[in-house]
Amino acid sequence: MKRPVSLRRTLLLGILLPVFGFVLVNTVVLYRQALAAADTAYDRTLLATAKSLGEQLRVTGSGDDLRIESTLLYSALEAFEADNRSRIFYRVSGLKGEMVSGFDDMPASRRDIPQKNLYAALVNFYDDEYRGVPVRMAVLLQPVSGVYEQGMATIQVAETLELRQTLARQILTDTLLRQAALVIVIALVVVFVVQRATRPVRALSHALSQRSENDLSPLPTEGAPRELLPLLDATNQHMQRLSHLLEHQKRFVRDTSHQLRTPLAVLKTQVQSARRGDAPPAQALEEIGHTVDRATELANQMLALAKVEQLRQDRGAPVLDWSDVVRAVALDLSALMAARSLDFSIDTQRAPVQAHEWALRELSRNLLHNAIKHTPEGSALSVVLVADRDTAALTIRDEGPGISAALRERLFQPFATEPGQAPGISGSGLGLAICHEIVQSLQGNIDLDNRVEHGQVRGLYATVRLPLATPFTAP
């Protein structure tokens, strides 16, 4: 199992690693710059030593006997030695490269003298090795003149690197100490800031862990950082949906247990009556069958009401032609219409809506079944489905008794029936509640209006309006 990513570790690594990398590069750059500055300073001293040697040279003779002589003693170079950790060696070469003074075993320089450099002299500096020891070499072309003649001498001065290496180590140590102090300060600041920035996340985690399993109240957003507000809002919305779903489930279980109690009690009474022989067996079985049918219908409608809530959470419904569903439902219920000798008519237009087929079928079936049940025998019943620019409207017109004022106040509530009618015996009172829940889940609306003629109720208009899935123009 993959370990979860730590937000604090991600922030710390994401900030400190680039800082450490930058400090490391900066340390190397600073060290090289300081070392170059130290080399420049010591090279100036080396150049001063070479020029001092040049001042002790003179030209003697003339013509083929022209030569350069030096009056410098080696002891005079002690003044140019910084301390006893370094030594200076030199060699002075004449006009033809001959040895004038200095150390005989020092090889003559064969390197070219750059025409341009940082110094007002013809000098070249480079690292070399002399007597098996690393040295810094300075080669100076020094003009020399006598009474009648002049020439050019080559002066080589070499210095061992102990002092330079000591200074380099000191520079490196100082640089590392300063950079280490800087890194420690930055790390402490970053740790403090990250801890402070992630404190609301830890507080939120603690608050959630301390909640009871049934506490779905909204999380407080006061004082929360701006970056956490989307998470808090989404969490609160999710909790609200869970709370609604949990309440629906509790209500479903409560209503189911309450509503099924009546038909089951009736069924038990009928069975006991049949056992005692209070009624003929055929009549008793018929009554028991009717009770079982009503209980089955009630259970199916309760399950349908629960399924509507499940579909409400599903946003991936397909696009269906509502007219096909309405006609299929009318065909399924045609036997009931024929049994009541109803004058049935249907007129539909193409109406594409986004919904699950079960929802459209249950909606159409409940409305049409209620109309069939409440329409007197031999009366007219019509179904019309029209579509305009953005809405599809289904209207079912019957010639029943309409809706009383007492029922209208709780029309779409579960188990709402006419006064004096017992739920679960002659009707469950769930049909319109299911229709209302389906319509609400499909972002539509439902209206039931009495059809009044000459001051009397002549029937009912049941109208459902749903949004079309695509822009639509009626034919």
In the chain (475 residues long), the average pLDDT of successive 10-residue segments reads: 70 84 85 81 86 81 71 57 71 83 84 73 88 90 74 88 82 85 87 83 81 80 79 84 74 64 76 81 82 74 66 73 93 90 93 88 88 90 91 92 71 55 47 82 88 83 89 46
Task: Enter the tokens of residue 93.
Answer: 């070469």
The count of structural domains within the chain is 2
Cα–Cα distance for residue pair 217/313, rounded to 1 Å: 20
CB neighbours of 463 closer than 8 A, spacing ≥ 6? 393, 394, 395, 396, 446, 447, 448, 449
What integer pLDDT is reported at residue 83 of this predicted model? 56
The candidate with the shortest Cα–Cα distance to 367, out of 465, 463, 442, is: 463
Task: Enter the tokens of residue 125.
Answer: 């500096």
Cα–Cα distance for residue pair 464/367, rounded to 1 Å: 10
Contact 243, 213 (CB under 8 A): no
Residue type, 186: I
Rounded to 5°, angle at Cα 460 from 459 and 465? 155
What integer pLDDT is reported at residue 380 of this predicted model? 93
Contact 219, 235 (CB under 8 A): yes
Alpha-carbon Rg of the chain, whole angstroms? 52
Task: Enter the tokens of residue 250.
Answer: 């509790």
Q: b or e along 31-48 (b: 16 or more beta carbons within 10 Å of the residue's beta carbon)?
A: beebeeebbeebbebbbe
- Other CB atoms within a 10 A radius of the CB of residue 357 amount to 13
In a domain, 180, yes or no: no
What integer pLDDT is reported at residue 312 of this predicted model? 65
Residue 353: its H or E element: strand 352-354
In a domain, 135, yes or no: yes
- CATH number, residue 469: 3.30.565.10
Rounded to 5°, angle at Cα 435 from 314 and 380? 140
In a domain, 365, yes or no: yes
DSSP helix, strand, coil percent of the chain (3-state; round to 5): 50, 20, 30
The candidate with the shortest Cα–Cα distance to 138, out of 23, 39, 214, is: 39
What integer pLDDT is reported at residue 424 of this predicted model? 38
In a domain, 263, yes or no: no
In a domain, 3, yes or no: no
Cα–Cα distance for residue pair 269/288, rounded to 1 Å: 10
End residue of a domain, out of 139, 170, 201: 170
> Could you give the residue ranges of the DSSP H alpha helices within 123-228?
162-197, 199-210
Give the structural domain span for 342. 315-475
Please tell me what DSSP assigns to residue 64: G
Task: Enter the tokens of residue 300.
Answer: 């199916």
Site of tokens 């769930």: 430
pTM of the predicted structure, to 2 decimals: 0.47
What integer pLDDT is reported at residue 175 of this predicted model? 83
Cα–Cα distance for residue pair 24/191, rounded to 1 Å: 20
Q: Is the dihedral of CA 362, 364, 442, 319 positive or negative?
A: positive
Task: Enter the tokens of residue 298.
Answer: 């009630």
What integer pLDDT is reported at residue 342 of this predicted model? 92
Contact 322, 360 (CB under 8 A): yes
In a domain, 184, yes or no: no
What integer pLDDT is reported at residue 331 of this predicted model? 93
End residue of a domain, out of 136, 170, 204: 170
Residue 466: its H or E element: strand 456-467
What integer pLDDT is reported at residue 356 of this predicted model? 85
Cα–Cα distance for residue pair 16/29, rounded to 1 Å: 20
In a domain, 157, yes or no: yes
What count of residues does the chain have? 475
CB neighbours of 16 closer than 8 A, spacing ≥ 6? 186, 187, 190
In a domain, 103, yes or no: yes
End residue of a domain, out of 170, 194, 227: 170
What integer pLDDT is reported at residue 419 of this predicted model? 46
Cα–Cα distance for residue pair 144/141, rounded to 1 Å: 10
